[in-house]
Amino acid sequence: MMPATQRLAGASARRPWLVVGLWIAAIAIAGYASSQFLAGALTTKIEVTNDPEAQRAADLIEQRFGAAGVTEVLILSSEDATVTDASFERAVRSLQASASDGGAEAVTFYDTDDPAMVSDDRHTTLMPVTFPEPDENADLLPAIEGLRDEANDSGVLTARSLGTVSIEEDFTRIAEEDLAQGESFGILVALVVLVFVFGAVVAGVVPLIMGVASIAVALGITALVGLTVDFSFFVTNIITMMGLAIGIDYSLFIVSRFREERAGGRHKLDAIGATGATAGRAVLFSGLTVVLALLGILIVPNSIFRSIGSGAIFVVLVAMLASTTLLPALLSLLGDRVNALRVGRRRSELGSESSHRFWDGIARRVMARPVVSLVLGAGILIAAASSYLNINTGTAGVSSMPEDAPSRQAFEILATEFSGGLSSPIEVVVEGEAAAPEIRSAIRALESRLAADGRFGPAQTMVNDEGNATIVSFPVKADPTSGAAMSAIAHIREVHVPAAFAGTDAEVLVGGETAFNSDLFDAIQSYTPIVFAFVLGLSFLLLMVAFRSIVVPLKAIVLNLLSVGAAYGLMVLVFQEGVGADLFGFGQVDAIEAWLPLFLFSILFGLSMDYHVFLLSRIKERFDLTRDNTESVAYGLRTTGGLITGAAAIMVAVFGGFAAGDLVPLQQTGFGLAVAVLIDATIVRSILVPASMKLLGDRNWYFPRWLEWLPNLSVEGPHPKSMEGPLVPRVARVPQSGPGERPSH
């Protein structure tokens, strides 16, 4: 029976203008949806669904004290005047009145007489401004900018601001700049690699068109889904990064297989059908493995994972659909003109049996000494992975921004002259009668313990009007997102609060941004085993059914875990330990993003399976025909070696473009993805796969009889020689100098 991918490719090739028209319409609709709805679908807020302690604290504060609002700390300085000068006070009071007129509540040193609000040289003061809770924090940006401008125009003060709104604005702006840089760099390098791989400009441009189309439609889908749910603003970076890499890669394999079939003598439509039955089928299966791996991170109960996982799934699904419909239609329209504008000359078609003897030689040398090769290759990866044992997880706070970012400059002033956590204090909320002697005593005990702990600034206590709830608010003397701040939260919860409130029946919850981040990291850690089990289990089942073997999926999982582990280790070595960070232009930080290992595992496991599936499908295709394991492995490597190398080079370029940005989270993401793909396409594919398959021999394809009832997905599809369709005379080869040397059929 004809494979579904062959029927789909054939149908698209027979009605190419209809298919192209439908895709143009889809891109236009997606573009309109993106322009109208995408901005409203993106948010910088993090939502959680597992009800952590910090969230319960926030809910309790809102119930007892009303909506907390959003606080931005204005840092007001004067070169000449001090806080006691009348001109300084008048300027601050005027600013306070403007904030009040705008519906905000501003507190000054002149209201509290709190020395903690004045710097040691008395030339700088703080003015916290609390705004009513907005729909989006970005909605408050005009009001904050207006207050800063008024202060700077006063002739007395200069103003900086630090808080959730300012930090999110800087993160968003820098992320957009990094996105534009990554896109331009990735597309340029991808085009160069594609033209080099194919030896023709038109063949190189087609995969780029597929990648851009996949991104455009995926962004439109995100915008429409965003009408009901919010997505993290990082989703656009993920869609662009994955869309370029996946969309180009899938097209690379399909275009190459089409050219191979044409070089073998097939008519155009038959070549497209044969390509759909083989490379198209492998693309479909590879895409499914990526999607299944990405489904795992949707289990984690927070909006970051939901956003990046959903965005990546959208663009992979669109790339799969484009590769199996739009691409066959374009190949039908182009025919042999896909080889137009040739660059250089190629003696044999890329991907054919006679191409890339280099890879054939590597495979045979590795299989001649399989034990040595396996031990050497695995040893390199294990050594690279060893640094992962020293990993510290956290999140990149404002201190990891570029030095010229306004938020970082404001934070450094706050950290140097005040308490760095003033913009996002820790809040301990106590539910119970504030006038009760035991609760008053417990709160005083907590304040004493905090005062004796050098990690915290002065505490402020506030009781609600009903007298049944108390907030103890205090800053941590560190970047609120740093590892030191996370450690301080754990100490408050495990030591200070239990000791202070022992013997009382009050409910005590620790909240605030720092506590929220701590709870987020704990949730990621607890869900990691679940995600690993889900992804590994589904991948094993899918590969087992596809290749009718239990050895192949087990080996694939082990090899992929080795490449992912090596990427983890190198990421820790570069970013956390600083080895080579200056060389790459990366920032050295104290911690790896807490969400990154789990995200990279899901992404990399799917991408690693891509190459594994393409290689194994060629090996299995040959093994079913010859039953010669050694020759099949050599055949698979030599026919996919150049393609996988080119595909890997494109992915490394795309991911490297994003790693070259200024935001540390994107640097870590891009570097981790690029390194893992590079490792997988070289050490794993060229050394570990042939060595392990040589050692296992025919046992590679062991499949117990009691599992024969399982369906046979046959990822490799029928061998081209077994498919129907006339061959044209061998003289009609793929032209070496232009499209006019051979008619399209």
DSSP string across 2-32? --HHHHHHHHHHHSHHHHHHHHHHHHHHHHH
- Smallest CA-to-CA distance from 641 within 681, 676, 694 is with 681
Residue 393 pLDDT: 80
Residue 72 carries which side chain, given as an amino acid letter? E
**Percent of the chain whose pLDDT exceeds 90:** 22
Cβ atoms 528, 598 nearer than 8 A = yes
Instruction: Return the CA Rg of the chain.
Output: 30
Residue 88 pLDDT: 93
Contacts of 14 (CB under 8 A, 6+ apart): 269, 332
The top-scoring range by mean pLDDT among 29-38, 481-490, 626-635 is 29-38
Q: What is the pLDDT of residues 396-413, one digit of tens each?
A: 667 677 778 888 888 888
Give me the residues paired with residue 472 across strands. Answer: 428, 461
Q: Scan for tokens 């140097």, then name that residue.
A: 416
Q: What is the pLDDT of residues 248-262, one digit of tens each?
A: 888 888 888 888 888
**3-class state of residue 593 by DSSP:** strand
Question: How confident is residue 223, by pLDDT bands cut at 50, 70 and 90?
Answer: very high
Q: What is the largest CA-CA distance in the chain?
A: 100
Residue 713 pLDDT: 64
Taking the C-alpha atoms of residue 292 and residue 601, their distance in angstroms, rounded to an integer, is 12
CB atoms within 10 A of CB 235: 29
Taking the C-alpha atoms of residue 283 and residue 715, their distance in angstroms, rounded to an integer, is 9
Contacts of 66 (CB under 8 A, 6+ apart): none
Residue 103 pLDDT: 86
- Tell me which DSSP letter residue 739 carries: G
Mean pLDDT of the chain: 83
Question: How confident is residue 133, by pLDDT bands cut at 50, 70 and 90?
Answer: confident
What's the predicted TM-score (pTM) here? Answer: 0.77
**3-class state of residue 110 by DSSP:** helix
Taking the C-alpha atoms of residue 550 and residue 533, their distance in angstroms, rounded to an integer, is 17
Residue 566 belongs to what H/E stretch?
helix 551-571
Q: What's phi and psi for 29, nearest 5 deg?
A: -65, -40
Question: How confident is residue 716, by pLDDT bands cut at 50, 70 and 90?
Answer: low
Q: What is the mean predicted confidence (pLDDT) over 171-188?
A: 78
Residue 138 pLDDT: 76
Q: What is the mean predicted confidence (pLDDT) over 577-586?
A: 83
- Smallest CA-to-CA distance from 384 within 530, 573, 667 is with 573
**Percent of the chain whose pLDDT exceeds 70:** 91
pLDDT at 736 over 60: no
Q: What is the pLDDT of residues 412-439, one digit of tens each?
A: 887 777 755 555 688 899 998 888 899 9
- Tell me which DSSP letter residue 681 carries: I
Tokens of 380: 């390199």
Check residue 711 and give left, alpha or beta (phi > 0: left; psi -120 to 50: alpha): beta
Strand intervals (E) in 277-391: none
Question: How confident is residue 604, by pLDDT bands cut at 50, 70 and 90?
Answer: confident
Q: What is the pLDDT of residues 7-28, one digit of tens each?
A: 888 899 899 999 999 999 999 9
Residue 128 belongs to what H/E stretch?
strand 124-131
Residue 577 pLDDT: 87
186 compared with 33, residue with greater pLDDT: 33
Q: Scan for tokens 């005990």, then name that residue.
A: 445
Cα torsion 734, 739, 740, 744: sign: positive
Can you spell out the DSSP letters for 614-646?
HHHHHHHHHHHHH--HHHHHHHHHHHHHHHHHH
How far from chain centre, in Å, is Cα 401?
Answer: 18
Cβ atoms 603, 312 nearer than 8 A = yes
Question: How confident is residue 582, by pLDDT bands cut at 50, 70 and 90?
Answer: confident
Q: What is the pLDDT of residues 342-383, one digit of tens each?
A: 776 554 444 444 456 777 788 888 888 999 999 999 999 999
Which of these ranges, 292-301, 386-395, 601-610, has the smallest mean pLDDT? Answer: 601-610
Residue 718 pLDDT: 52
Residue 715 pLDDT: 58
Q: What is the pLDDT of residues 263-285, one digit of tens each?
A: 877 888 888 888 888 878 878 88
Contacts of 726 (CB under 8 A, 6+ apart): 266, 267, 270
Question: How confident is residue 598, by pLDDT bands cut at 50, 70 and 90?
Answer: confident
193 compared with 89, residue with greater pLDDT: 89
CA angle 184, 187, 188 (to 5 degrees): 80
Q: What is the mean predicted confidence (pLDDT) over 655-668?
A: 81
Check residue 274 and give left, alpha or beta (phi > 0: left; psi -120 to 50: alpha): alpha
Question: How confident is residue 504, by pLDDT bands cut at 50, 70 and 90?
Answer: confident
pLDDT at 739 over 70: no
Cβ atoms 513, 504 nearer than 8 A = no
Question: How confident is residue 87, by pLDDT bands cut at 50, 70 and 90?
Answer: very high
Q: Scan for tokens 């004045």, then name that residue.
A: 118
Contacts of 123 (CB under 8 A, 6+ apart): 77, 78, 79, 81, 82, 83
Taking the C-alpha atoms of residue 745 and residue 13, their distance in angstroms, rounded to an integer, is 12
Q: What is the mean predicted confidence (pLDDT) over 24-44?
A: 90
pLDDT at 573 over 50: yes
Q: What is the pLDDT of residues 194-221, one digit of tens each?
A: 788 777 888 888 888 898 999 999 999 9
The top-scoring range by mean pLDDT among 328-332, 389-393, 700-704 is 328-332
Can you spell out the DSSP letters for 291-348?
HHHHHGGGGSSBHHHHHHHHHHHHHHHHHHHIIIIIHHHHHHHHGGGGG-SB-S--SS
Q: Where does 346-475 have alpha helices with state H?
A: 357-368, 370-385, 406-417, 437-452
**3-class state of residue 468 by DSSP:** coil
pLDDT at 33 over 90: yes
Q: What is the mean predicted confidence (pLDDT) over 602-619?
A: 76
pLDDT at 329 over 60: yes
Can you spell out the DSSP letters for 174-216?
HHHHHHHHHHHHHHHHHHHHHHHHHSBHHHHHHHHHHHHHHHH
Which of these ranges, 329-333, 417-421, 577-581, 615-619, has the smallest mean pLDDT? Answer: 417-421
Separation in Å, CA 239 to CA 150, 194, 247:
40, 21, 11
pLDDT at 31 over 90: yes
Residue 722 pLDDT: 46
Which of these ranges, 14-28, 194-208, 496-510, 561-575, has the smallest mean pLDDT? Answer: 194-208
